[in-house]
Amino acid sequence: MKNEKRHPSSAATRPATSRDVAKRAGVSQSSVCRVFDERWNSKVSPALREKVLAAARELGYCSNAIARSLTAQHSGIIGVIISEDFNEFYYDVMRRITNSLQELGMRVMLFNAAPYRDVKQVLRSLLEYRVDGIIVTAAAISTVAEATLQESPVPLVLVNIYSRTPFCSSVICDNYSGSQNMADYLVRSGGQRFAYISAENSKYYDISDRREGFLNGLRRHGVYDCILESGDYTYESGKEAARRLLDRPDRPDTIFSCGSRMAYGVMDVARYEYNLKIPEELSVAAYDDTFASALDSYRLTTVQQPSQELSRTAIRLIRQAIEGPSPIETVYAMPSLEIRGSVRRTSE
CATH number of the domain enclosing 280: 3.40.50.2300
Whether residue 182 is found in the same domain as residue 267 = yes
Domain that holds residue 26: 13-72
φ, ψ for residue 289, nearest 5 deg: -105, 130
pLDDT of residue 120: 67
Q: Predicted confidence band at 312 (pLDDT cuts at 50, 70, 90)?
A: very high
Q: Report yes or no: 328 and 168 within 8 Å, Cβ to Cβ.
A: yes
Whether residue 268 is found in the same domain as residue 184 = yes
Residue 38's CATH number: 1.10.260.40
User: What is the value of pTM for the model shown?
Assistant: 0.77
In a domain, 294, yes or no: yes
- pLDDT at residue 284 tops 70: yes
Q: Which residues pair with 110 in a beta bridge?
A: 80
CB atoms within 10 A of CB 319: 18
CB atoms within 10 A of CB 232: 16
Between 103 and 141, name the one with better pLDDT.
103
Q: Report yes or no: 299 and 335 within 8 Å, Cβ to Cβ.
A: no
Cα gap 88→94, rounded to integer Å: 10
Q: Report yes or no: 328 and 158 within 8 Å, Cβ to Cβ.
A: no
Helices and strands counted in the chain (H then E): 13, 12
Question: For the segment 26-62, what is each residue's pLDDT rounded down to a tens digit?
Answer: 988 888 877 776 656 667 888 888 888 888 888 888 7
Three-class SS of residue 217?
helix
In a domain, 324, yes or no: yes
In a domain, 243, yes or no: yes
Find the range with the poorest average confidence among 78-82, 131-135, 200-204, 290-294. Answer: 200-204
Whether residue 99 is found in the same domain as residue 164 = yes
In a domain, 182, yes or no: yes
- pLDDT at residue 195 tops 80: yes
Whether residue 98 is found in the same domain as residue 137 = yes
Three-class SS of residue 322?
helix
Cα gap 183→226, rounded to integer Å: 11
Q: Predicted confidence band at 10 (pLDDT cuts at 50, 70, 90)?
A: very low
Distance of CA 8 to the CA centre of its chain: 49
Domains: count for the chain: 3
pLDDT of residue 55: 87
Whether residue 180 is found in the same domain as residue 161 = no
Cα gap 344→33, rounded to integer Å: 61
Between 60 and 214, name the one with better pLDDT.
214
- pLDDT at residue 117 tops 60: no
Report, as an integer, the average pLDDT of 8-20. 65
Three-class SS of residue 235?
helix
Q: What is the mean pLDDT of the chain?
A: 83
φ, ψ for residue 276, nearest 5 deg: -90, 145
Question: For the segment 150-190, what is each residue's pLDDT rounded down to a tens digit?
Answer: 767 888 898 887 766 778 899 999 999 999 999 999 999 99
Whether residue 227 is found in the same domain as residue 288 = yes
Cα gap 144→147, rounded to integer Å: 7
Please name the residues in contact with 1: beta carbons below 8 A apart, sequence gap of 6 or more. none
Cα gap 211→230, rounded to integer Å: 11
Cα gap 173→63, rounded to integer Å: 39
CA angle 44, 50, 56 (to 5 degrees): 105
In a domain, 1, yes or no: no
pLDDT of residue 147: 63
In a domain, 250, yes or no: yes
Strands (E) across the chain are located at: 77-83, 107-113, 133-137, 156-159, 169-173, 194-198, 226-230, 254-257, 283-287, 301-304, 330-333, 336-338
Cα gap 199→209, rounded to integer Å: 12
Between 122 and 304, name the one with better pLDDT.
304
Whether residue 216 is found in the same domain as residue 290 = yes
